[in-house]
A = this chain, B = another copy of it.
Amino acid sequence: MPAPSFYFPAPRTQKFCSQCGAALVIRIPPDDNRQRDVCENCGAIHYQNPRNVVGVLPVLDDTVLLCKRAIQPRYGKWTLPAGFMELSETTAQGAMRETQEEAGAQIELGPLYTVIDVPAVNQVHIFYLGKVLSPELHPGPESLEAGFFKESEIPWGDLAFRTVSSTLEHYFKDKPSGQFPTRHYDVLFPVGD
């Protein structure tokens, strides 16, 4: 079989059973109350659930670390290092991993800071505070560049996501008090202003 000419993340729409390969039907399974993708051949029910995006707000002195995205969506926009949580890791481990992968930054992880529901895209975004241990950065392939920004230098009009801009806004509001309690809220329009 020739290799596919391109690869893509499997979308939420499922047509075939991952267990036996039969065509799926949409129905409410026994003892359930909503429609699922169900295999009437082998009986497998293909539940789908929201995904977590985990990241860090990395701080060095009076600056924060941002990465310029080299991938879609929001190519060329600035973001905090973050990405999908993987199996077999904690939210903290995932947040550390993404910071390493996207910025090549060495950090000491701080407290859980923002927990943001984004139901429009079936995601929950979770950001930790982090202390950058060295100004040396090694941006990975998902970042065009990475750098440190004072509050007055943040490219507010060119941030990738509302979860990123709102986390930064909370940080600069909380900073004078030195208190950073966990903040939880919803973002209804992930890339809106």
Known: A44-B8, A44-B10. Is A15-B18 also a contact (CB below 8 A)? Answer: yes
Within 8 A of B (CB), among A17-71: 17-21, 23-24, 29-31, 33-34, 38-52
B9 and A15 contacting across the interface, CB-CB below 8 Å: no
Query: Are A49 and B111 CB-contacts (below 8 A) given A31-B141, A41-B4?
Result: no
For residue A102, CB closer than 8 A to chain B, the reply is no
Task: Give CA–CA (A10, B44) in the complex, Å.
Answer: 5
Q: For A4, list chain B residues within 8 Å (CB).
A: 39-43
Q: Is the CB of B10 within 8 A of A122?
A: no
Choose one: B9, B18, B21, B86; the contact of A34 (CB below 8 Å).
B86
- The answer on a CB contact under 8 Å between A1 and B84 is no
Interface locus among A89-97, A143-151, A166-174: A89-97
**A47: chain B residues within 8 A (beta carbon):** 9-10, 84
Q: How many residues of A contact B (CB 8 A)?
A: 65
Contact in complex: B91, A124 (CB < 8 Å): yes
Chain B residues within an 8 Å CB radius of A14: 18-19
Central interface residue in A12, A87, A89, by most chain B CB within 10 Å: A87
CB of A15 within 8 A of CB of B6, answer: no
Within A93-139, the residues touching B (CB, 8 Å) are: 93, 101, 111-112, 115, 117, 119, 122, 124, 126
